[in-house]
Chain A
Amino acid sequence: MKLKYFSAPYLVWMVVFIVVPLLMIAYFAFTTDDGGLTIKHISDVGQYANIFVRSIWLSLVATAICLVVAYPVSFILSRMEKHKQGTMLMIVMLPMWMNFLLRTYAWMTILGNNGILNHLFGLVGLGPYKLINTSGAVVLGMVYNYLPFMILPLYSVMEKIDKSLFEAASDLGCSSGQILFRVVIPLSMPGITSGVTMVFVPAISTFIISRMLGGGSNLLIGDLIEMQFLGNAYDPHLGAAISLVLMVIILVIMTVMNQFDPDDQVLM
């Protein structure tokens, strides 16, 4: 019973910095400058439908790539000897020690028209290719930046899968493919759902990646919101409305996602 009191600091934190700002966003989204109620801002969001579609699409692609890349990595990682796991995990985490902005900035130099990659292509007589300022570059930036967020939850779930389960499965006549689909994937489902959440949610609301690698012509929702608060548009009401719609979309997608979780846990 006493333990409950230890959560008080976080509770206060949550109310002040999470619940109140959320209410303020809702308030801003439904009011005008002089305080009257309106749904104008929400309905105005409709005109940016193509930006929403593009953001969702690009972040889904990035999440899918992350999952495909991270899954085998995490599996191999979890089957390694214990002392090696620590080193490998550190290597996965290493890029995160660097500033997010700096990492994205580095890609600008790598992908540029006179950048490192095109320079290398030039040496073997290829290119130059248009690499930067494309939606592909934006996806690459998302994958690069958010990949560790996929590896870590997958790894921590897989690590707990007992090796004897695989042995039992193969004793009972499972091929390695069947082991993967009947044992590994179902048991790692919680890791997949939380990994997808942790990649998809920041990816859909990013703005600096699209600005630096998308050349400003691949607007995402994050850019749109930034324009409303710090940019030329300066319309906090519209910005709040866009944020609200984005939150609803994420909520819907996450609910769908959670259907895959065998325990029906609610992650959000």
Chain B
Amino acid sequence: MLRRTLTWAVAALAALPLLTACSSAAPEEAPEEEEESSAQTLTVSDPDYYTRFKGKGISINVYNWGEYISTGADEGTLDVNGEFEKLTGIKVNYTNYATNEELYAKLKGGGAAYDVIIPSDYMISKMIKEDMIQPLDFDNIPNFEYIMDNFRGQAYDPDNAYTVPYTWGTVGIIYDTTMIDIPPEEIDWDLLWNEDYADQILMFDNPRDAFAIAELMLGYSLNTEDPEELEQAAFKLRQQKRIVQGYVMDEVFDKMEAGDALIAPYYAGDALTILEGNEDLDFVVPKSGTNLFVDAMCIPSTARQKEAAEMYINFMCEPDIAFANIDYICYSTPHSAAFEMLDEETRESHVSYPDEEFIRDKTTVFVNLSDQANKKMQDLWTEMKSAEDENTNRWITPIFLIFCVALMIFVLIRRHIKAKKDIF
């Protein structure tokens, strides 16, 4: 939505001089002019700072989520990595991952040295605990001043020594307004347990997010480590399983846009993208509270180019760059200057930017759970997911056993006959 209106605005602006001048200039010039204007608007606070490494042939490895940076692929957007290379002469090797766990496994495996990574909150605290990321030198990141106070010193990094927040968002419910006749302000998490919509509900396919919803409903902390409370949350999820159509992550895009399901919990930024694809859908953040997630830039302990990495992080916090990114990926920004540059509609949207009071009182940021609690949650989750409906469970195992026994007997008899034959 946002991206589209902006493209229009830019196109209109670019076309303006053409119209007023009433010249015979061909309309094909418009894109060129657009490019020019974006190149002109890119001003960095301290050009000298960025040119320090010029001509030294340095390269950095950046490991980020997929679709999580402005690439310049769409017309009128900025190629952030390209601009960085142009400005600093540092080559950026940019690769993607799909989950925090993939990132963790990759770093833990030690196969590759990354210089900048952008994990989420709970993964950051896990990595801090395991010494996998190193403290930043904030003298090299002057643009940190733009980060809003709300997003400094979060629970995952209380002293704010390791991280620079990149984006944030909340978890809410995407639902089909044509089929669900409940006013948005009354929608709460119990919608996901509503039997009227059996088989029309999608659910998160990862334990942390799924348990968080159950914990919100039960009134527990989202970071609870109490085995008793975890078991009750698992019980809640098990009750829900019967009416859940499927446990999905990225498949939610297709399924909701195609109308295969009516209700799905998901992350606000992605939800806005889904809403663009299907007009019947709406997104609501339940009033009773939700999970607030923050993705922040960090430097792994194994990084080879720490200073260049800090330069990259600082560059990502340049107002123009931060705006270009946030405009492209539709998540919410913790960057005050980029926030000011957004249009009014977005700034006042309750989906992308809930009011501060709500954020303070009703949202919780994940922190890493202890190994024990993690294991417990994982076990409960696997148990919940692998539990069969009672009627099928009864016959699968016996039939299988009978099949095995029959096969064995058959083989034995065959061998016996064969052995007899050989004698004669």
Contacts and interface: CB of A to CB of B under 8 A. Distances in A.
Interface of A: 47-48, 50-51, 53-54, 56-57, 60, 108-109, 112-115, 130, 132-133, 135, 211-212, 215-217, 219, 224, 227, 229-234, 256, 259-260
B386 A50 contact: yes
B247 A112 contact: no
B385 A219 contact: yes
B22 to A, nearest CB: 50
Contacts of B378: 227, 232-233
B407 A217 contact: no
A98 to B, nearest CB: 18
A232 B411 contact: no
Contacts of A60: 403
Contacts of B407: 256
A48 B382 contact: yes
Contacts of A133: 245-246
B80 to A, nearest CB: 28
Interface in B362-407: 374, 378-379, 381-383, 385-388, 392-393, 396-397, 399-400, 403, 407
Given A215-B245, A217-B246, A230-B105, A256 B251 contact: no
A230 B393 CA distance: 29
A232 B207 contact: yes
B245 A113 contact: yes
Contacts of B99: 230-231
Given A230-B99, A231-B101, A256-B411, 9 more contacts: A57-B399, A113-B260, A133-B246, A135-B392, A217-B247, A227-B378, A229-B105, A231-B99, A234-B105
B287 interface: no
Across the A-B interface, give the 5 residue pairs with the lowest CB-CB distance, nearest first: A215-B246, A216-B247, A112-B260, A233-B378, A133-B246
A50 B105 contact: no
Given A217-B241, A229-B105, A232-B208, A132 B382 contact: no
B218 to A, nearest CB: 21
B279 interface: no
Interface of B: 99, 101-102, 104-105, 108, 199-200, 205-208, 241, 244-248, 251, 254-255, 258-261, 374, 378-379, 381-383, 385-388, 392-393, 396-397, 399-400, 403, 407-408, 411, 414-415
A186 B168 CA distance: 65
A170 B414 CA distance: 27
Nearest to B199: A130
A219 B385 CA distance: 7
Nearest to A224: B382
B411 A259 contact: yes
Task: Give the most central of B101, B392, B408: most A CB within 10 Å.
Answer: B101
Contacts of A259: 411, 414-415
A135 B415 CA distance: 36
A215 B104 CA distance: 25
B245 A50 contact: no
Contacts of B244: 215, 217
B261 A53 contact: no
Contacts of A219: 382, 385-386
B246 A230 contact: no
Nearest to A262: B418
Central interface residue in B104, B383, B386, by most chain A CB within 10 Å: B386
B247 to A, nearest CB: 3
A89 B411 CA distance: 34
A108 B251 contact: yes
B260 A114 contact: yes
Nearest to A252: B404
Contacts of B411: 256, 259-260
Contacts of B399: 57
A211 B249 CA distance: 10
Contacts of A48: 382, 386
B382 A227 contact: yes
A260 B415 CA distance: 10
A260 B411 CA distance: 8
A130 B102 CA distance: 33
Given A51-B386, A217-B247, A259-B411, A112 B255 contact: yes
Nearest to A259: B411
Nearest to A50: B386
Contact of A53 (B248, B379, B400): B400
A54 B104 contact: no
B329 to A, nearest CB: 23
Nearest to B388: A50
Contacts of A50: 386-388, 393, 397
A137 to B, nearest CB: 10
B105 A216 contact: no
A47 B380 CA distance: 12
Contacts of B385: 216-217, 219
Nearest to B414: A259
B199 to A, nearest CB: 6
